[in-house]
A and B are shown apart, each in its own frame.
Chain A
Amino acid sequence: MQRRRFTMSALALTAAAAGCRPSDPGVIRLVSSLPRTGSAKQQSDTIVRGIRLAIAEAEGRVGAFRIEYLDLDDATAAAGQWTSEAEAANARRALQDPDVVAYLGTFNSGAAKVSMPILNLGDLLMVSPANTAVGLTKPGLGDRGEPEIYRPTGRRNFVRVVPADDLQGQLSAEWAWRRGIRRVVILDDNEVYGKGIADLFEERCRELGLTVLAHDAIDAKAQEFRSLMARVRSLGPELVYFGGTTQTKGGQLAKDMAGAGVEAILMVPDGCLEQVFIEAAGPANLEGRCFVTFGGLPPEKLTGKGMAFVEHYRARYGEMPEAYAVYGYEAAGVALRAVRDAGVKDRRTITDAALAIRDYDGALGRWGFDANGDTTLRTLTVSTVRDGRFVFEEVLEPDASPATS
C-alpha cells in the first residue's frame, strides 16, 4: 500500500515535471533567465525586483490577459555563475511552454549567445536588461558573421533596453582624453563583456593618440593581484581601466591597486556600478579616484516616470534601486507594451510589435528601438565614489566627442 502510494506520487511528479499543464488562453507568462545563484545574485536581485514592480504596477493584467511571471536561474551552485547548459535548458523550457510570450534576459552576454538561436526558432521575444556585447545586434562591429549567426530563421526576436558597449568603451576613452590623461594601462577579466569593452576602450585610445602601456587579462578566480599591481606601478600610468564586473574581482583589483601604491585613477564600466563594488573594494580605496560609466542616468537624476519608478521601488523594497533595477523594470514594460500592441497571444505578432516600438515613454525617458533592436538612448553618465557612495559626476554625449587625431 505504502509502496503504491509512493508510485502514484512519483507518477504525479513525473507528470508535473513533464510540463503537462494545459495552456490557458487567458494567461500570458513572462520568464526571466538571470544568474540567481552565485556571485551575480545581488545584481540579478535588483533586476527581478524591477520586473516584479513593473508587473505589479500593471496590476497583473495586460489587455485581456492575466500576467504570470517565472524567475528562472541560469547559474548553477556548483559553477557559481551562469552555465551554457542551464541557459539552454531555460530557453528550451520557455519555448516549450505555450503561455510564454517574452523571455527577459540574459544578464551575461555570453549566455545570450546560447539562448538567442534557440528562442529565435520559435520567434519568442527576448528583451535583455543587461546584455551589452555589440555583436548581439550590430552588424559589422562584432565577430565575423554576427549577429546573423544567432538568427537561424533569419528573422529578428532580440531587443535590448541597455546601450551597447560601443558607446561606453568609446566615450570612456574620450572622457580620459579630455581630462588630459595620456598614459593608460588596460586590464580585463577575460570575459565576453569585460574583454569586449576593454578592447573597444583600447581601440579608441589608440585613435586618440593615448599611450597604452599594457593590456593584460586577469584570472577572475584568483585571490589577489599584488604582483600585477606592482608591475602596473612600475609602468607609471595616469589611468587604469578595468573591463570587468564586481563578480570578476573588480573590488579586489581596486584594493590591491591602492595597496601597491599605484597613483593612477581607476575607471570601470557599469558592471561595477553597484554598492557591493564599493564594499568589496573598501570605500577608502576608491575615494575620489574611481570613476564608473553607466548607460543612462543614475536613479537620483531620473525625472518624470523615472522619478516615480524610484519612489515606488523605495516604497516597495525599502531601499534605493541599484543601477540595473530600472533596466529590469523597463524590459518588463517593453514586453507588456508589446503584448498590448499586439492584442493577440501570438509570439510572432508580439515580437514584431516589440521591434516596432519607436516611442516608448518609460522610466529611462522617451526612447525607442532602432532597426537592429538597439535602444536609441545615447546618454552615458560618469559617477565617482565619495564617502562610500556613488555620486553623479557628469553626462557624456556622443556628439561632444573630440576630433580623431
Chain B
Amino acid sequence: MSTEILLQQCLIGLANGALIALVALGYTMVYGIVRLINFAHGDLVMLGACLALSLVEFSGLTAAGPVTTWIGIAGLVLACGLFCGSLNVLVDRVVYRPLRGAPKLAPLVSAIGVSFIFMNVGLFWIGPADRSFPPLVPATNLLAGDRLQFTARDLLVVAIVVPLMVALTVLVRATPLGRAMRAVAQDPVAATLMGVDVERVIAATFFLGGFLGGAASVVHGLTITTIGFQMGFLNGLYAFTAAVLGGIGSVPGAVVGGLVIGLVRALSSLLVGERWTGAVVFGILIVILVFRPEGLLGRRTVDKV
C-alpha cells in the first residue's frame, strides 16, 4: 500500500471530521451548561439542510457566477444558522425549560420526542426519498497532478469551519457572555448568586449550538450533496460520539473528537474494509472510555461526599 492512498484517506478523514466536529459542538455546549444529551440536535441539522435546499432552489443560486455563489453560500450559512439557532432556543423555551428541576432523564426523553417531531417535519418538507443538493461548489481538484485529491469542497469545509471555531473560542474565552457560560457550566447556583442570568446564558448557548448546527447543515449539503429526512440520526450519532470521545462539555474536545472519528472512519475503510467502519469507530470509543473515562480532553470529575 502506498503512502499516497494513506495520505488521501487522512485528507478525506479530516474534511469529514471537521464537519462532525461542527455538529458535535452543538451537543457539547448544551451538555456543558444543562447536562442534557440533546438527541434532537442531529435532526435540527437536518431541518437546516432542508431550509438550505429550499433557499437554493428558490433563489436560483445554481445559475449564478462564482462570486455571487460564494456570497450566496455565506448568506446560506447565516440564514440556516439563524434559523437553527432560533429554533433551538424556541425548543428549549417550550420543552426543556419547564423540566429544569425534573428527574434527569425526563428532558432526555423529551429531546427524543422533539427529534421525532423534527423528522416528521423534514418528511413533509422534502419527501421520503433522498434529495440531491445542487452542487454549487464543483469537486475540482486543487492539487497539481491527479495522484492526491483536495477538492474545492474540502477547501469550503475548512473555509467555513475554521473561522467559526476561532470565533467560538474567542467568544467563550474572552467575552462577558463566555465568562458567564463557563460560570454556569461550573456551578449554576453560584453563578446565579454572582448575578448571572442563568436562563439567558442557557438560551445563548442553545442559540450558538444551533447556529453551528445550521452552518454544518449547509456544509453537509454542499460537500456530501445528498440530504434526506433520516440523515439526522447518523449525523447525530457520530457527532455525539465525537463529543463524548473528546470529553463532553469541552469545546476543544469536541473538535478533537470529531477529527479523530473522521480519521478513524477513513482509515478503517481502507485498512479493515468499509463494512466494518461502524464497529471500528465504536470499538475504539469503548476502549478509550474504559481507559480514560473522562474522554480525551475532559476533566476528571470528583465525587462529592
Given A226-B12, A227-B265: A280 and B275 within 8 A (CB)?
A: no
Chain A residues, Cβ within 8 Å of B220: 223
Q: Contact check, B269 vs A41: say whether CB atoms are below 8 A apart.
A: no
Given A217-B274, A227-B274: A222 and B132 within 8 A (CB)?
A: no
Given A219-B278, A282-B225: A234 and B128 within 8 A (CB)?
A: no
Contact of A260 (CB < 8 Å), options: B16, B149, B226, B274: B149
Interface residues of A in 199-237 (CB under 8 A from B): 216-219, 221-228, 230-231, 234
The smallest beta-carbon distance between A64 and chain B, in angstroms, is 40
Q: Mark B244-288, 1 if CB is under 8 A from A, else 0.
A: 000000000000000000000110011001110110000000000
Given A255-B225, A255-B226: A231 and B5 within 8 A (CB)?
A: yes
Q: Contact check, B132 vs A219: say whether CB atoms are below 8 A apart.
A: no
Measured CA separation A329–B269 after assembly (Å)? 42
Chain A residues, Cβ within 8 Å of B132: 251, 255, 279-282
Chain A residues, Cβ within 8 Å of B225: 255, 282
Does residue A372 face the partner (Cβ distance < 8 Å to B)?
no
Closest residue to B234 on the A side, CB-wise? A221
Does residue B109 face the partner (Cβ distance < 8 Å to A)?
no
Does residue A190 face the partner (Cβ distance < 8 Å to B)?
yes
Chain B residues, Cβ within 8 Å of A227: 9, 12-13, 265-266, 269-270, 274
The smallest beta-carbon distance between B240 and chain A, in angstroms, is 15
Given A280-B129, A280-B132: A216 and B149 within 8 A (CB)?
A: no
The smallest beta-carbon distance between B301 and chain A, in angstroms, is 33
Given A223-B231, A234-B5: A39 and B12 within 8 A (CB)?
A: no
Could you tell me which B residues sit within 8 Å of A by CB distance?
2, 4-5, 8-9, 12-13, 16, 128-132, 135, 139, 141, 146, 149, 151, 220, 224-226, 228, 230-231, 233-235, 265-266, 269-270, 273-275, 277-278
Beyond contacts A218-B274, A252-B130: 8 other A-B pairs, Cβ-Cβ < 8 A, are: A39-B130, A221-B233, A224-B224, A228-B274, A230-B149, A234-B4, A252-B224, A252-B226
Could you tell me which A residues sit within 8 Å of B by CB distance?
37-39, 41-42, 80, 190, 216-219, 221-228, 230-231, 234, 246, 249, 251-252, 255, 258-261, 276, 279-282
